[in-house]
Amino acid sequence: MASLKICNISAIPTGSSSTSRSSSNHPIPFSSNPITTTTTILSIKSVLSSFHHATNSVHPILSFHRKPHFSMLASKKSIIISSAMSLGTYVQEDLPPALDSTSDPPPLFDGTTRLYISYTCPYAQRVWITRNCKGLQDKIKLVPIELKNRPAWYKERVYPPNKVPALEHNNEVKGESLDLIKYIDTHFEGPSLFPDDPAKRQFADELFSYIDTFYKTVTSSFKGEGTDDGIAFDDIEIALSEFEDGPFFLGQFSLVDIAYAPFIERFHPFFMDVKNYDITHGRPKLATWIEEMNKNEGYKQTRRDPKELVESYKQRFMARL
């Protein structure tokens, strides 16, 4: 029987203003160290642009180093922004066991919305976090799959690409984690996890596009192919400096944080263990981001034991060295 634990949330409003709201239905603070709503005066970020300028020549990976956010710079007025973490309503649930080649399929296409995941897959984790943060535990049923011993029916009857994540919804099955997190955010109830602000949306698109490069840059440094272990994390530090109305990539918590979290969750302990290198050292924004993410209950429920993550990355990236 799932024990119910419901948290107080401050959702990103779906309207254009950035005021926060708390759910009156959920009066229990989400953590013992709750983030209080703060009012920030956001001014033009000349300091930040000089920081970008200084780093451009060193780290050419990201175009956003050089791009001012015109919609923000165009405003000469200070904008009063209420910032708060958007953490989503969550229900602490008992997780079902993973299905393997011996398991019967669920009653497919019976109108139930199902999210097929693997507990160890970072791509699936993105979608799982989104579901949790939107408080959709009762609306989207988790169906974990044992990837190393997959049931044949998964490929044959559910998702022919045979990968996770996949979402069964309205008699269709869709895949691709970045598409799915956006799909869930727009097609389901719960707090919006994507701001309306065009400057933030543009930056989000850049960050979604950058994520594969980020992954490849970091993992090639695992294999000793990169020249600098920290270069991709410098990009993250700069990206986290872009908006000042909160500690997240777009200021407030959003799908972008969800897209990056499963990977940073793996890279952080792996670098510590294998290279004795703390990716947060000298990167205060990244340190704060990790700290704040770790308070997010929707994310916390999806996290793995760091030791297990390190072992799996060692097998994957170091076995061939």
Ligand X SMILES: N[C@@H](CCC(=O)N[C@@H](CS)C(=O)NCC(=O)O)C(=O)O
Scan residues 199-228 and list those touching ligand X (CB under 6 A).
Answer: none
Strand partners, 211: none
If we measure between CA atoms, which residue out of 10, 137, 207, 96 comes closest to residue 129?
137
b/e per residue 103-127 (b: at least 16 CB within 10 A)? beebeeeeeebbbbbbbbbbbbbbb
Scan residues 53-82 and list those touching ligand X (CB under 6 A).
Answer: none
Site stretch for ligand X (CB under 6 A), options 10-18, 156-164, 224-232, 293-301: 156-164
Q: Which of 147, 193, 258, 279 binds ligand X (CB under 6 A)?
A: 147
For tokens 């029916």, the residue is 153
Q: Which residues contact 202 (CB under 8 A, 6 or more apart)?
A: 69
CB of 115 to ligand X, least distance (A): 12
CB of 134 to ligand X, least distance (A): 18
Closer residue to ligand X in complex, CB, 212/291? 212
Scan residues 87-146 and list those touching ligand X (CB under 6 A).
Answer: 118, 121, 123
Closer residue to ligand X in complex, CB, 121/199? 121
Q: Which of 65, 163, 169, 200 binds ligand X (CB under 6 A)?
A: 163
CB of 263 to ligand X, least distance (A): 11
Helices (H), 57-146: 70-73, 122-133
What's the rounded Cα separation, in Å, for the pair 122 and 259?
Answer: 9
Using the rule CB under 6 A, is 313 a contact of ligand X? no
Closer residue to ligand X in complex, CB, 125/280? 125
Scan residues 169-198 and list those touching ligand X (CB under 6 A).
Answer: 175-177
Which contiguous run of DSSP H or E holds residue 56? helix 46-56
Q: Which residues contact 184 (CB under 8 A, 6 or more apart)?
A: 127, 130, 131, 134, 136, 140, 167
CB of 192 to ligand X, least distance (A): 22
Cis peptide before 34 (omega within 30 of 0): no
CB of 122 to ligand X, least distance (A): 6
Instruction: Measure the CA dihedral 152/153/159/164, to 10°.
Output: -60
Given the rule CB under 6 A, which residues bind ligand X?
Answer: 118, 121, 123, 147, 162-165, 175-177
